[in-house]
């Protein structure tokens, strides 16, 4: 059985829900995911919260298809599950109304009239 060396998550061929951890979801869907530290650095660099990372990974697990024929998860138009997750995380931020790809800060919450939200 394949399992992540970092977190020991499930076999990548499994469609079962992994532990409630965004990284466990990713390694459940693909063996081609960078290490946890690399992924955490990316989240910090993009200022993406753990909550968004987890919600995105859950959404991917629920929406993407696992192919019995190929024995792989379909990455949804991207080359890898990791690239899909990165894109979906950035899109989640944009859907929250902050188009620069980061969590809202006080300076980014100034309205056109100059007032704060």
Q: Report pLDDT digits (tens) over 54-83.
A: 999 999 998 888 888 888 888 888 889 999
Residue ranges covered by each domain of the chain: 22-109
Q: What is the pLDDT of residue 42?
A: 95
CA triple 29-30-31, angle to 5 deg: 145
Higher pLDDT, residue 108 or 93: 93
User: SS3 breakdown of the chain: % helix, strand, coil, rounded to 5?
Assistant: 45, 5, 50
């Amino acid at each position: 059985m394949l399992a992540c060396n970092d977190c020991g998550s499930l076999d990548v061929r499994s469609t079962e829900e992994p532990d409630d951890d965004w990284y466990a979801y990713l390694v459940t869907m693909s063996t081609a995911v960078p290490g946890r530290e690399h992924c955490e650095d990316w989240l910090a660099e993009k200022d993406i919260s753990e909550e968004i990372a987890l919600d995105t990974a859950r959404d991917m697990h629920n929406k993407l298809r696992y192919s019995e024929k190929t024995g792989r998860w379909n990455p949804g138009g991207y080359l890898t599950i990791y690239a899909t997750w990165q894109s979906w995380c950035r899109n989640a931020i944009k859907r929250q109304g902050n188009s620069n790809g980061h969590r809202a800060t006080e300076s980014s919450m100034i309205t056109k009239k100059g007032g704060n939200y």
